[in-house]
């Protein structure tokens, strides 16, 4: 029986498993945890996106809306958004860093609009208890990296 070169065996295994393994890794990275639900919307956090930025935290949030939301673009609406929020846990506030909206639920359909804020232009909003923002803040701040 002829012996195979170990490098060729590794190359074959990677060729066969690589794309599937990468797809599984990507799917795991995009796991959304439902954090807050109201009659009007449901908000999810991608736990693997939570990261420290100085003394604050940042995380990606997906929101699905029950009814179409008006867009800044005239005549356009959206049913879902993916937003990167900055969280100030100590002061119970959060700010939108980047948002992208989509015509369909679960970030599907036509992209409708996008907006980005620089760190110096963040617009901070209070995140009171028992609100969607409050639930998002509690979830993210309770799962801070290394904490």
Do residue 26 and residue 86 come from a single domain? no
Could you tell me if 50 and 6 lie in one domain? Answer: no
Write down the pLDDT at residue 17.
40
* In a domain? residue 63: yes
Please tell me whether residues 2 and 70 are part of one structural domain. no
Predicted local distance difference test score (pLDDT) of residue 143: 85
The answer to whether the beta carbons of residues 117 and 95 sit under 8 Å apart is: yes
Domain carrying residue 23: 1-30
- Domain assignment of residue 120, yes or no: yes
Bridge-based pairing of strands 124-126 and 93-102 is antiparallel
Band the pLDDT of 107: cuts 50, 70, 90: very high
**Bridge pairing between strands 51-53 and 32-37:** unpaired
At residue 56, the pLDDT reads: 95
pLDDT digit string, tens, across residues 1-22: 444 443 333 333 333 344 443 3
- Give yes or no: residues 52 and 110 share one domain: yes
| Same domain, residue pair 109 and 73 | yes
* 30-89 residue pLDDT tens: 699 999 999 999 999 999 999 999 999 999 999 999 999 999 888 999 999 999 999 999
Say how many domains are in the chain. Answer: 2
Same domain, 41 and 100: yes
Mean per-residue pLDDT, 111-118: 95
Q: pLDDT-derived band of residue 27, with 50, 70 and 90 as boundaries? A: very low
In a domain, 147, yes or no: no
Q: What are the tokens at 63?
A: 């929101």
Considering the domain boundaries, does residue 64 fall inside one? yes
Please report, for the domain that includes residue 64, its CATH number: 2.40.128.710
The number of beta carbons lying within 10 Å of the beta carbon of residue 11 is: 12
Tokens of 60: 């990606």
Asked if 80 contacts 60 with a C-beta cutoff of 8 angstroms, the reply is no
pLDDT for res 140:
97
118/97 same-domain check: yes
Q: 79 in a domain, yes or no?
A: yes
């Amino acid at each position: 029986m002829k012996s195979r070169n170990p490098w060729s065996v590794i190359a074959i295994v990677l060729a066969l498993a690589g794309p599937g393994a990468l797809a599984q890794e990507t799917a795991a990275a995009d796991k959304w945890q439902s954090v807050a639900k109201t009659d009007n919307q449901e908000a999810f956090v991608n736990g693997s996106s939570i990261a420290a930025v100085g003394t604050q935290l940042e995380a990606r949030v997906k929101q699905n809306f029950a009814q179409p939301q008006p867009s800044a673009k005239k005549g356009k609406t959206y049913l879902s958004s993916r937003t990167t929020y900055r969280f100030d846990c100590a002061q119970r506030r959060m700010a939108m860093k980047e948002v992208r909206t989509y015509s369909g639920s679960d970030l599907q359909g036509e992209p409708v609009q996008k907006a980005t804020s620089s760190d110096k232009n963040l617009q901070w909003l209070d995140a009171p208890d028992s609100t969607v923002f409050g639930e998002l803040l509690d979830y993210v701040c309770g799962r801070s990296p290394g904490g």
